[in-house]
A = this chain, B = another copy of it.
Amino acid sequence: MKILKKEYSIALLVLVFFLGIHQAISAQATPTSKPLAGVFPTGNKITNNNFTGTAYLQSLIEADSLNAISVGNVTFTPGARSKWHLHPAGQILLVTDGVGYYQERGQPKKILRKGDVVKCPPNTPHWHGASATEGFVQVAITSREKGETVWMEAVTDAEYHQ
């Protein structure tokens, strides 16, 4: 009976040992999850009517009379996106984290990932946002020299999921 108890103990220890090893392997294979934040601060929740879902904006550089370029860090939660809009002098997007979508009117939707860059031509209706399942962080570089952004209609669910 004493030996039987020890055999149970051994079986239990072997089980716990393999659970420990399993945890070690899992911890190495899965990088520590970090908040989706890119390089720059997340900033404040966008409360205007130009976005669908929850997105955040941190202004990094304001345009001025000597340098008309503004730079902002935009964080989209999964499913969030801008409305259709255009920039009179165009826009450049730098993707710093997550997975997102970018689409120009009449063109297929593109999938964007960390390290991707986009040059959106002047006066070209487009939208951008997070993928349905993962958030998305972009640095938006916008020249204001030919006027402000023109906002249009919302991106429908059919357009978004296309």
Other-chain contact of A92, B41, B69, B96, B115 (Cβ < 8 Å): B69
Q: Does A150 interact with chain B (Cβ within 8 Å)?
A: no
Residue of B nearest to A39 (CB): B96
A141 in complex: contacting residue of B28, B32, B69, CB < 8 Å: B69
**A27 partner, pick from B28, B89, B145, beta carbons under 8 A:** B28
Please provide the chain A residues from 42 to 68 with a CB less than 8 Å away from any CB of chain B in the complex.
60-61, 66-67
Q: In chain A between 14 and 29, which residues have their CB closer than 8 angstroms to a CB of chain B?
A: 14, 16-18, 20-21, 23-24, 27-28
User: What per-residue 1/0 map shows which CB atoms of A99-119 lie under 8 Å from chain B?
Assistant: 000000000000000110101
- Tell me what chain A mostly uses at the interface: helix, strand, loop, or mixed: mixed
The reply to whether A89 and B61 contact each other, CB–CB distance below 8 Å, is no
Task: Name which of A1-9, A77-85, A127-135 contacts chain B.
Answer: A1-9
- Check: A139 CB closer than 8 A to any chain B CB: yes
Report if A31 contacts B (CB, 8 A): yes
Q: Shortest Cβ distance from A87 into chain B, in angstroms?
A: 9
Asked whether B39 lies within 8 Å of A115 as measured between CB atoms, the reply is yes
Name the residue on B nearest A122 (C-beta).
B66
Q: Please, how many angstroms separate the alpha-carbon atoms of A18 and B89 in the complex?
A: 62
Q: Does A152 have its Cβ within 8 Å of any Cβ on chain B? A: no
Q: Give Cα A3 to B5, complex, Å.
A: 11
